[in-house]
């Protein structure tokens, strides 16, 4: 078990002029858990924001494979449960999106749930 950020995505990182990391934002859902959970969330949010929407990834953004290799090299921990953590992340994302729709009173919730989860559970990121 390790400290998990809970919202590890590029938009929650502050960078300096030389692109060094200055800080990490949005720790309100931090928890103790599987060390691969943050890696899975990072990969999932990148995929949902780009490939899933048919939007090209930004030039210079490391590939999925490069990100995993860099994670393993930086932490010294092998990545073994990534698929589980990606599916868990997809479920958590779907629940958050469904909650937003309930609060705002928009959309067909059953269709949204299936549309959001189906691609992630079949082929996925």
Q: Which helix (H) or strand (E) holds 21?
A: strand 21-24
Distance CA 90, CA 82 (A): 12
Distance CA 22, CA 26 (A): 14
Catalytic residue check, 7: yes
Query: Phi first, then psi: what are they for 81, rounded to 5°?
Result: -120, 30
- Among candidate residues 7, 26, 38, 46, the one labeled active-site is 7
- Nearest by Cα to 47 from 60, 64, 33, 62: 64
Q: Catalytic residue positions?
A: 7
């Amino acid at each position: 078990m390790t400290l998990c950020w809970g919202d590890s995505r590029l938009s929650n990182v502050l960078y300096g002029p030389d692109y060094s990391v200055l800080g990490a934002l949005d720790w309100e859902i931090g928890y103790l858990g599987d060390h691969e959970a943050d890696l899975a969330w990072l990969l999932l949010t990148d995929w949902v924001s780009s490939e899933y929407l048919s939007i090209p990834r930004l030039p210079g953004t490391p590939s999925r494979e490069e990100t995993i290799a860099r994670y393993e090299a930086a932490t010294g921990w092998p990545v073994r449960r990534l698929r589980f953590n990606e599916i868990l992340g997809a479920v958590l994302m779907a629940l958050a999106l469904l909650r937003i729709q309930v609060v705002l009173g928009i959309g067909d919730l059953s269709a949204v749930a299936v549309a959001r989860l189906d691609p992630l559970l079949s082929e996925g990121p």
